[in-house]
Amino acid sequence: MPPAFKTVALIGRYKSQDVAGPLVELGEFLGAHGCTVLVDAETVAASGVTAFAAASYEDIGARADLAVVLGGDGSMLSAARWLAPFGVPLVGVNQGRLGFMTDIAAGRMRESMAALLAGRYTLEERTMLAATLERAGETILSTVALNDVVVSKGAAGRLIEILVHIDGQFVYDLRSDGLIVATPTGSTAYALSSNGPIIQPGVPAIALVPISPHTLSNRPIAVTDSAAIVVTVKRAPGARLHYDGHPQNELVEGDRVKLERAPRRARFVHPPGYDYFAMLREKLHWSESLF
């Protein structure tokens, strides 16, 4: 039988030479199963592996039926942002630490990939955020994020003050170290460390999580993912805008960060046996005995 995914793109951990061995192993395995193999051009440059056709993200988006990321959650986030507009599904082979989004353990790579090629998998779509930064009536940044968009204090280390509106309604005047706006996927990332709620991926919600608020009654809230969220910078000594962990822009007073559900969703392929709550138990050590 032909493989379920005929053209498979491989994307390695950013600027990592260590990925060369697993990359060659997986590429040869896929080729032996009748797949056309593409490798992200940056991965080729970093790893030195030239046995497979190099491709840009645009080429991968146009040609690939599946993208396999050999890396950690950061690599998955980057690939998802690039490939979501093309609808290419992703699966991750964990080469990082926690690996909330990389389902396949490195030691089970061949076994898991064989199952996927045989058509034994589930497909899941994840909400992404569209973020726009406006300054003095002009748009100076438009981007998407899979995990979160964060307005935070900068190097000055002082509290910032922001105004939050949802669907045009005033919510609060927040003095804090910042605010995390997270998708369900991002609810187990930075937002979780700031006492935000864990949101099951299929729940249509966005979490707003204050970072060390001056007023302790400013608690995390979850709103429908159809909401239009506007964060206005009221006082911002050195504040910055981040998305998916990347520092992007310095913020000034009067800046408006507009957030809404992105029109495209990230798509993930899960191997047989994937269980979201089992993953949480493993990564968060919920079942460990204290004795």
Positions marked active-site: 73
Rounded distance between C-alpha atoms, residue 124 and residue 64, angstroms: 18
The CB density around residue 286, as the number of other CB atoms within 10 Å, is 9
DSSP string over 39-104: EEHHHHHHH---SSEEE-HHHHHHH-SEEEEEE-HHHHHHHHHHHGGGT--EEEEE-SSS-SS--E
34-to-5, 6, 28, 30, 199 alpha-carbon distances in Å: 9, 7, 10, 7, 39
Q: Name the residue among 268, 251, 258 with its Cα closest to residue 101.
A: 268
Rounded distance between C-alpha atoms, residue 11 and residue 254, angstroms: 39
Q: Name the residue among 232, 220, 209, 212 with its Cα closest to residue 159.
A: 212
DSSP state of 75: H
Task: Enumerate the β-bridge partners of residue 165.
Answer: 170, 230
